[in-house]
Structure 1
Amino acid sequence: MRRRATVAALCLAAALAGCGAPAGTDGDLVNGWSALPAASYSPPAVGACLKGAAGAFEPSAAPLQAGDCAEPHAVEVVGGGPVPDAAAPPAWDSDASRAAYVECDKAATAYLGGDWRTGRLFPVFRMPAAAVWQAGGRHYLCGIAEAADDLFAPLDRTGSVKGGMSGEARDKPLALTCVQLSGGDISGKGFYGTVDGVKPVDCGAPHDTEFVGAWTAPAGDYPSQQRLKELAGDACYLKIAQFLGISQTALYQRGDIYTFWTGLTANQWALGDRTAHCFLNVSTKTPLRASIRDLGTKKLP
């Protein structure tokens, strides 16, 4: 209490003695400072290249940084658009996010010159992060990444993917053709019980699996895993038969070609994408070294 009274007395004494602001000043310490600029955000332009970790259908992924397309990068911007103003960014499974993703789908196809789903590619979709939203960012981002050693992990590439899905049939530079699986629990017949990796490879290299087409599931609530297996298994089996140029009965009678599919995750479905990648699969004991399109009933090469 005595300390507080002493300080007050000193202040009063200084005032009585005529204490004031130094000559040439007005006593206002902040009125000469320029105002800080307002927070702002400029979305990357179409064709820009971005660096950073990216994966397919990740609701909350790390931010991507601008990079030089001549240097290794993971993602290329193919489109984007405005997001309606709100108190917070749209949720992953919201109508706004699904509507934006539809536009990204169209933008990717136009940019690549063909359906990205039939390429060794995957989409990178970003709504503004919370910090960007607070800075005024109201722009969603559409990107495309090329697959590396796994169909859903990005390759750090140089150059542009633009036009990479244009061309005739499987001559498209970025077309998905043959893949090599990796996994465990291999059966006596040489088939994986569990698959850990799906690596795109040239069809001239040894491989056990070949892409036969994409299939889109009917709209509705996300099915159980068992129902997904039934739906995708049946649809992909038909695509395999068509790829080989035989009936489903003839495919069943072969007994040496099986069905494998990827996709249809819960995050993917929530965004409105219900696409599965369909593959034919042969035993690891009989690896292929060429495409078997239109093989018919002939023996595996």
Structure 2
Amino acid sequence: MTAALLGLTAVLAGCGKPAGTDGNLANGWPALPAASYAPPSTGTCLTAAVSAFEPSAAPLQAVDCAEPHTVEVVGTGAVPDAAAPPAWDSDPSRAAFAECDKAAAAYLGGDWRTGRLFPVFRVPLPAVWQAGGRQFLCGIAEAADDLFAPLQRTGTVKGGLAQAGPLALTCVQLSGDNLDAKGFYGAVDAVKPVTCDAPHDTEFVGAWTAPAGEYPNQQRLKELASDACYLKIAQFLGISQTQLFQRADIYTFWTGLTATQWAIGDRTAHCFLNVSTQTPLRASIRNLGTKKLP
């Protein structure tokens, strides 16, 4: 019994306060720093799985711009404080995207819509928002063969559109299905940018922005974009729309104007002229007028 009591006393003594302490484990410890987040700085290159005008939570990893990457940061900013991050189709997101639009033009030396490029826009993810992050990210990706998916590249895009720079969108080669007897595609799968001295069947003539309003149904959207791009093609060739209508060798082709693109505030279509795959071009036909295709 005595041995047992002594053992119990020894155990209880081990739970006492060490010499020189007050027994309060909470005092004397510095407070943890407030959670914070800083987006990658302008000029940072990133590897990421992105697609044009699609919200994404895919991780962004910074790499040296000399290494293969898909996105380059062209600017940052902050959205207003709120209980949660702004939705893709919200006014705060559209306002932030408009700021990104300006940042991209300044960084590239021209409007990204005239280049083989598309914007990458990110607002803070929920976890980052809860940690206090309010910064949005403006990025630019070089477009691959559908103008909406990224092309892995090396080097910077900065200044790539200045003075008809190397990233300008000029001529493209289509690929698709259902070739008709005249050599025109019934359905297009890919739009591959090429130099105009390479064989091609399509040439970029300019971008068109649809009027603001509700997103049109597909038939109305097709009518609006086709009519607008038809006019741009006539102007590009230096002829009237009536003269263009009288030609059976030049068609209208356009891309863009997706629902998510419209929702973020961008209502732009890329307008192209298209010729038969049987008569590929090897130069620009700007100001061709009423002459035959070369």
| Aligned partner letter, 1:107 | A
User: Per-residue displacement from partner, 1:127-161 (whole Å, max 9, x unpaired)?
Assistant: 11112112211101111111123312212212111
- 14-23 vs 49-58, greater mean Cα deviation: 14-23
Report matched runs for 1:77-156 at 5 Å. Answer: 77-156=73-152
* 2:176 paired with 1:183: yes
Q: Tell me if the contact between 1:151 and 1:198 (Cα under 8 Å) persists in the aligned partners.
A: yes
| Aligned partner letter, 1:114 | G
Report matched runs for 1:141-290 at 5 Å. Answer: 141-167=137-163, 171-290=164-283
| Aligned partner letter, 1:91 | A
TM-score, length of structure 1 as denominator length: 0.89
User: Is the alpha carbon distance of 1:265 and 1:15 closer, same or farther for their aligned partners in structure 2, counting shifts above 3 Å?
Assistant: farther
Q: CA deviation at 1:59?
A: 1.5
Does the residue aligned with 1:254 lie in a helix, a strand or coil? coil
Does the residue aligned with 2:193 lie in a helix, a strand or coil? strand
Q: Tell me if the contact between 2:50 and 2:56 (Cα under 8 Å) persists in the aligned partners.
A: no
Does the residue aligned with 1:214 lie in a helix, a strand or coil? strand
Does the residue aligned with 2:140 lie in a helix, a strand or coil? strand
Structure 1 CA distance for aligned equivalents of residues 24 and 146 of structure 2: 63
User: Per-residue displacement from partner, 1:28-52 (whole Å, max 9, x unpaired)?
Assistant: 6776876554432111111111111
Q: Tell me if the contact between 1:57 and 1:268 (Cα under 8 Å) persists in the aligned partners.
A: yes
TM-score, length of structure 2 as denominator length: 0.91
Q: Tell me if the contact between 1:236 and 1:259 (Cα under 8 Å) persists in the aligned partners.
A: yes
Aligned with 1:24 (options 18, 21, 35): 18
Runs of 4+ in 1 over 3 A off after TM superposition: 13-20, 25-38
Q: Tell me if the contact between 1:180 and 1:201 (Cα under 8 Å) persists in the aligned partners.
A: yes
| Aligned partner letter, 1:130 | P
Q: Tell me if the contact between 1:81 and 1:141 (Cα under 8 Å) persists in the aligned partners.
A: yes
Structure 2 CA distance for aligned equivalents of residues 76 and 102 of structure 1: 18
Structure 1 CA distance for aligned equivalents of residues 225 and 120 of structure 2: 24
- In structure 1, the partner of 2:37 is 41
* 2:269 paired with 1:293: no
Identity, % of aligned pairs? 78
Q: CA deviation at 1:15?
A: 7.0
User: Per-residue displacement from partner, 1:150-193 (whole Å, max 9, x unpaired)?
Assistant: 312212212111111111xxx32211000111111211211111
Q: CA deviation at 1:19?
A: 4.2
Gaps of 5+ in 2: none
User: Is the alpha carbon distance of 1:18 and 1:227 closer, same or farther for their aligned partners in structure 2, counting shifts above 3 Å?
Assistant: closer
- In structure 2, the partner of 1:7 is none
User: Is the alpha carbon distance of 1:23 and 1:273 closer, same or farther for their aligned partners in structure 2, counting shifts above 3 Å?
Assistant: closer
- 77-86 vs 22-31, greater mean Cα deviation: 22-31
User: Per-residue displacement from partner, 1:98-134 (whole Å, max 9, x unpaired)?
Assistant: 0001111111111111111111110001111112112
Aligned residues between the structures? 287
- 272-281 vs 26-35, greater mean Cα deviation: 26-35
Structure 2 CA distance for aligned equivalents of residues 271 and 75 of structure 1: 19
- 26-35 vs 190-199, greater mean Cα deviation: 26-35
User: Is the alpha carbon distance of 1:18 and 1:273 closer, same or farther for their aligned partners in structure 2, counting shifts above 3 Å?
Assistant: closer
User: Is the alpha carbon distance of 1:67 and 1:16 closer, same or farther for their aligned partners in structure 2, counting shifts above 3 Å?
Assistant: closer
RMSD: 2.1
User: Is the alpha carbon distance of 1:17 and 1:39 closer, same or farther for their aligned partners in structure 2, counting shifts above 3 Å?
Assistant: closer
Q: Tell me if the contact between 2:236 and 2:287 (Cα under 8 Å) persists in the aligned partners.
A: yes
Gaps of 5+ in 1: 1-9
| Aligned partner letter, 1:210 | E
